[in-house]
Structure formats: structure tokens, C-alpha cells
Amino acid sequence: MTRIRLEYHGHVAYITLDHPPANTWTLASLQAFLQMMVELDGRPDVVALVIRGAGDKFFCAGADLNMFADGNLEHAREVAEAFGRAFEALARFHGVSIAAINGYAMGGGLEVALACDIRIAEQQAKLGLPEASVGLLPCAGGTQRLTELVGPGWAKRMILCGEKVSATLAYEMGLVEEVVKEGHAWEAAHQMAQLVERQSPSALRACKTLINQGRSGHRDAALPLERSLFLTLFDDANQREGVAAFLEKRAPRWHYDQPTPLKRE
């Protein structure tokens, strides 16, 4: 049993990690997650994705360490590659991904949140990358994405010292974008996804491409691309619909067919 669920409500997808007691990752659940991301990649009508943990204590406690108990190198390789493929597919998702962190987010649990665009944490949540304490390291993007978000000093404290941080401190560090009361992460993420639904799906895709370009490359390369993609949107029906809806003082009726390819001339 993979213990992971994908549901759709309107233009929003919801993935629930449900592997009691701590919603840990297994090879099967990682493979299932990747297939869900492949499915979502073929759904231009889905503009937002919310990831949550079942229950009220754990978002996700990371990898099930039973997978590594026998020290089998080939199995470890298979798991590490599964982590990489799954979370890289999440990071490439064309819509807005939101992690609703409702409890402990440790190891691969924090790494799946790091691969999301936005993180919302409940006030009682704890976040950490404790892999070094069991002789391992974060292999699903943790060393890179955490450092990008919080800087090398805090990344070293969390990874090299095994320091776990509270939701409040995570917010102050820039690790999460919002802290909410216990039991409210799901509602907050749902409300944020509804805000995403109000945006042009074509403009969302272009804006996310530009933000990611600016993070991974030099700003001087992103600036001309910004102007290029601005003009590309004029080939898309959503630009005309968005402007018309604004001028007519009505809600836009977006088109969710396959979006116009993003040009980079």
C-alpha cells in the first residue's frame, strides 16, 4: 500500500501523505508521488497543488529508516534516485505548489516542503534535517534548497548541528512564508490556492519560469527574458480575456487548454 492520495477540487490538486504513524516515505510512496506529478504535468487545468500530512502530529517524518537497515548499497541508490526524481518533478510543476505543514517536518518531510513554492506551518510544527545523526545526509535537495532559502549559516546549524527549529523561528529565517494556529494549515493553504485560481494560468506559468530563472541564473539574463515572456503572453487568449474582464468589471473566464509555449528569444 502506497499510503498517498491525489484528489482534485476545481483547478486545485491535493496530495495527502497518509502513512501512520509518522507519514514516512517508502520507495513505493516516492514512486507513486512521481507518477502523480507526471499526471499533474499533463493537466494544464490544474494551477495549484497543496501537499499535507494526514493526522495532527506529523506532516512527514522523512524516510522510513527500515529501508536502510540492511546497508544494501543498490537499494539505497534506488531510494535516493526516487527521492530526487520525485522532488525535482515537484519543483518543476507548472502551477503553484503549497506545503501545509501541520506538524513535524523532518528529513525528507522537510525536503518535500522545500521543493514547494510556498510553505505554511502551524505554530506547533517543528522542522529539521537530522540525517547526519543517523550517518546519512539530505539527498533530496535539502542541502541546496535549504541553503538557498535561509543562507549557509542556518543551513549548517540545521544540517551539521541537527538543530530543529520552531515554526516561528522558521518564519523569521525565511524558511516558511506563514505561520498559522494549530489545525489551520490546511485551511490557509486552501485559501491561498483559491487566490491562485483567480490568476491567469498562462501568466502564472510565465511568472514562475522567470522567478526560477532569477534564482538559478544571473539577473542580467532574466531581465530580457522577462520582457520576452511579457510579449509572448499577447499570443495567448488569457491576455485578451484578462484585460477585457478588467475593463468590463467582471470575473475573467480563463482558458485552461495547453498553454502557449514560453519563448525565450
Active-site residues, by number, are 111, 131
Contacts of 145 (CB under 8 A, 6+ apart): 111, 114, 115
Work out the number of other CB atoms within 10 angstroms of the CB of residue 148.
15
Could you tell me which of 148, 194, 188 has the C-alpha nearest to residue 167? 188
SS3 assignment, position 11:
coil
Please say whether the dihedral angle defined by the alpha carbons of residues 22, 17, 61 and 69, taken in this order, is positive or negative.
positive
Strand order in the sheet with 126-128: 58-60, 104-106, 126-128, 165-166
Alpha carbon dihedral 210, 212, 213, 215, in 10-degree steps, equals 130
